[in-house]
Every structure is written in structure tokens, then in C-alpha cells.
């Protein structure tokens, strides 16, 4: 297994339980969508997976190594295996596309080259190759602020791939985009996942995209896993179990039908 979560529990200081005894594992090369209503714990789960937050208890195992136990250089080595793309892109708007992609290398660089932005010929070649992979080689020197939303997400994907991760976390990758552009981004992610044997975990409110592009669906409700199975097994009854009486349920059921 490339990713294993064992009894992950997370409680905030106000007493809210974000995650409760979450258990699942992901095989190398899977495309898994995590779905659920707002407040179900999806974003918290992803922040624990990439090391941005820590769980109260439980184990996060990435490619056989315990993230929650690792410190310093060992922790950074595990995190290097995890790329993340965000719904708001998290790019530096006034900087060129290629420098945004190259910024993924900063944690691995010595202090002086990092401060001066001296990335070296090989890293520049790799950044250009990745921009070509996402269809933006001709925009390499363009400031990100001049790009469309879909183009920005493509730059973010290239940046996430720059460290050659084995796991890609996609946190609502299409939510800031129109449906046509969102589908194009999911098609790109799916193609990358298949050609590079990359493991993708996607947090999504778009059930249509999740069912179409994922090989597996994990449903969260109130911080607990209530469904884990193939997309074809997601029925109206399963939707009720995942979304309960939330306002999202009606729209989700309509999309399913």
C-alpha cells in the first residue's frame, strides 16, 4: 500500500471532532475520491496526509514510512513523496509560470541558491518539460496573473509534479473553475495518473467528476468513513448515508439520477 491511515482521530480546541477513527489504505496507482458534505472532515484529512496538521492519535503511513513519527530531514523526505494542488491554486501571481514550478525545489536546496533563485540547468529543463506536459510550455515566462483559472491550475499541477511525488493530493481541483475547464483539468489528472502510475487522492464536492474519473469512492460524514467502494456501487441510499440531511443532498441525488 502506498498510503495507509490507521485510526486517525482529530479534535479541535473548541471540542469539534473533525475525524473519528478513520481507517483506509490506498494502492499504488489508484485514483480515489473522498466525498462528503461541508464539514465532513475532508480538508482536515488532506492536511494530515500532507503533514500540514497532526492527528490526535493514529498512524499516517506513506510508502511504508510513518509520517506522524518522523522529524526533521526524515519527515521532509516523506513529504517529498506527496504533491498537493489546491482549489485556489496557491501560486505567486507576479512570478512567471516556470518560477512557480521551480519553487517546488526550494525545500531541497541550499540556503544561498534558494535565496538567489539559482535552480540550475537540470531543474529548469525539468520545469519546462512539466509545463509542456500540462500544455503550457509557451507560457513559461508569462506571469501567473495573466493566466486563466484553468491555466493556473495546470501550472499548479506542474509544480506538484516537480518533486516527482508518488502520491498527489488534489484538494477541490475543479471547484474554482467552470464545468468545461474543470473537466479538462480532471482529464489531465487522469491521464497523468495512468501514464505515470501516480496515486491520486481527490477531495471533491463534484460527485459527477468523482464517479467518472475515480476508481474508488470514500464517503465521509461527521468525520467518519461511511462508505468505501467502487463508483458503480454509489446508490441513492449510499448518498443519503454520506450526505444525510445536509442541503447538498438534494442536488447530489439529482446529479446521480
Domain map (residue ranges) of the chain: 1-81+167-257, 91-164
The reported pTM is 0.90
Pick from 179, 201, 175, 159: which is nearest to 45 by CA? 201
Task: Say what the pLDDT of residue 245 is.
Answer: 72
Q: Does residue 46 register a pLDDT over 90?
A: yes
Q: How far is CA 242 from CA 18, 39, 100, 215, 228, in A?
A: 15, 12, 37, 18, 11
Q: Note the pLDDT tens digit of each residue in 148-182.
A: 999 999 999 999 999 899 999 999 999 989 999 99
Look at domain 1-81+167-257 and name its CATH class: alpha beta
- What distance in Å separates the CA atoms of residue 19 and residue 87, rounded to the nearest whole number? 21
Contacts of 215 (CB under 8 A, 6+ apart): 30, 31, 32, 230, 231
Contacts of 180 (CB under 8 A, 6+ apart): none
**Is residue 62 helix, strand or coil?**
strand
**Is residue 103 helix, strand or coil?**
helix
Q: Note the pLDDT tens digit of each residue in 201-211.
A: 999 989 999 99
- What distance in Å separates the CA atoms of residue 178 and residue 101, rounded to the nearest whole number? 24
Q: Does residue 111 register a pLDDT over 70?
A: no
Task: Say what the pLDDT of residue 119 is.
Answer: 80
Amino acid at each position: 500500500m502506498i498510503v495507509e491511515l490507521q485510526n486517525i482521530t482529530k479534535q479541535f480546541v473548541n471540542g469539534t471532532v473533525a475525524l473519528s477513527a478513520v481507517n483506509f489504505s490506498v494502492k499504488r496507482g489508484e485514483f480515489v475520491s473522498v466525498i462528503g458534505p461541508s464539514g465532513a472532515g475532508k480538508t482536515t484529512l488532506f492536511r494530515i496526509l500532507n503533514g500540514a496538521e497532526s492527528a490526535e492519535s493514529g498512524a499516517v503511513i506513506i510508502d511504508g514510512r510513518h509520517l506522524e513519527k518522523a522529524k526533521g530531514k526524515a519527515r521532509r523526505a516523506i513529504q517529498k513523496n506527496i504533491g498537493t494542488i489546491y482549489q485556489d491554486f496557491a501560486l505567486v501571481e507576479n512570478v512567471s509560470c516556470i518560477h512557480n514550478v521551480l519553487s517546488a525545489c526550494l525545500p531541497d536546496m541550499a540556503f544561498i541558491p534558494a535565496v538567489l533563485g539559482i535552480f540550475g540547468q537540470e531543474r529548469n529543463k525539468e520545469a519546462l518539460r512539466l509545463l509542456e506536459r500540462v500544455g503550457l510550455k509557451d507560457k513559461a515566462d508569462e506571469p501567473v496573473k495573466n493566466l486563466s483559472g484553468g491555466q493556473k491550475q495546470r501550472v499548479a499541477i506542474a509544480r506538484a509534479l516537480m518533486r516527482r511525488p508518488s502520491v498527489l493530493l488534489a484538494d477541490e481541483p475543479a471547484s474554482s473553475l467552470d464545468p468545461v475547464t474543470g473537466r479538462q483539468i480532471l482529464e489531465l489528472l487522469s491521464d497523468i495518473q495512468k501514464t505515470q502510475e501516480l496515486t491520486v487522492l481527490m477531495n471533491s464536492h463534484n460527485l459527477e467528476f468523482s464517479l467518472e474519473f475515480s476508481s474508488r469512492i470514500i464517503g465521509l460524514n461527521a468525520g467518519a468513513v461511511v462508505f468505501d467502494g467502487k463508483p458503480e456501487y454509489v446508490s441513492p441510499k449510499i448518498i443519503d448515508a454520506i450526505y444525510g440531511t445536509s442541503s447538498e443532498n438534494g442536488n447530489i441525488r439529482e446529479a446521480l439520477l
